[in-house]
Amino acid sequence: MSVNLQKGQKVDLTKGNAGLSKLMVGLGWDAAVPEKRGFFFKSQVNAEIDCDASVLMCDENDKVRDKTDIVYFGNLKHKSQAVTHLGDNLTGDGDGDDEQILVDLSKIPGNYQKLVFVVNIYQAQQRKQHFGMIKNAYIRIVNGDNNAELAKFNLSDNYQDMTAMIMGEVYRHQGEWKFSAIGQATKDGSLQEVLGRYR
């Protein structure tokens, strides 16, 4: 049964699921198009909002040591084969997950302790877009073997003027894997700026 998490909550992934190694991490969002329509009303959502999901693979000090430890649309598979990004969705249109990331916990080398899942708006500053223009954002963790949803975190705060989001973390704890619902919005204008928090 899936657990609906609140911001800051944590849930065990492997402790109650013996043998679990394959996860699918789904991330979703929709553009919050203003309801007003008219000749004199110009929507701020004048271009599709292109959100990009990424994974930062961190060591025991919460640091990303190498650029190859970032899995995103420009580097779809980690060198360990443990994390695979299934590709970029340019609009966020439609129901269900907008981007999906596959994680094989059994293949994650011992020097990685945490996977940080981040979503940032592509060219947010140039397009004058922010997370206040997005609704229904979530991250969910699915058992990759049977497609059963293990946990879901729906983001519900006001993210006006925020351009990046640290959605959640999958991390090791006493030999088991857990998921933490983070929901930390930032004004970082690019993935590189987000990465600066983990250097």
- pLDDT on residue 156: 86
What CA–CA distance (Å, rounded) separates 159 from 108?
33
The rounded distance, in Å, linking the Cα atoms of 198 and 89 is 25
Dihedral angle, C-alpha 35, 184, 120, 58, nearest 10 °: -160
CA–CA separation, 21 and 183 (whole Å):
24
What does the DSSP 8-state code read for residue 172? E
pLDDT of residue 166: 97
| pLDDT for residue 61 is more than 90 | yes
What pLDDT was estimated at residue 46?
47
Superfamily of 3-35+45-198 according to CATH: sav2460 like domains (2.60.60.30)
Give the mean pLDDT of 80-97. Answer: 79
- Over residues 131-146, the mean pLDDT reads 94
Note the pTM of the prediction, 2 decimals. 0.91
CA dihedral 13, 17, 18, 24 (to 10 degrees): -60
Confidence grade of residue 43 (pLDDT, cut at 50, 70, 90): very low
Residue 81 has pLDDT above 60, yes or no: yes
Asked whether 169 and 116 are in contact (CB, 8 A), the reply is yes
Q: At CA 197, angle to CA 110 and CA 107, rounded to 5?
A: 20
The domain ranges of the chain are: 3-35+45-198
The one-character DSSP state at 69 is: G
The answer on pLDDT for 29 being more than 50 is yes
Q: How many CB atoms lie within 10 A of CB 28?
A: 23
Beta strands in 18-126 (DSSP E): 22-31, 51-58, 70-71, 83-85, 99-104, 114-121
Q: Evaluate whether 194 touches 164 at the Cβ level (below 8 Å).
A: yes
User: Tens digit of pLDDT for each residue in 140-160?
Assistant: 999 999 999 999 999 988 899
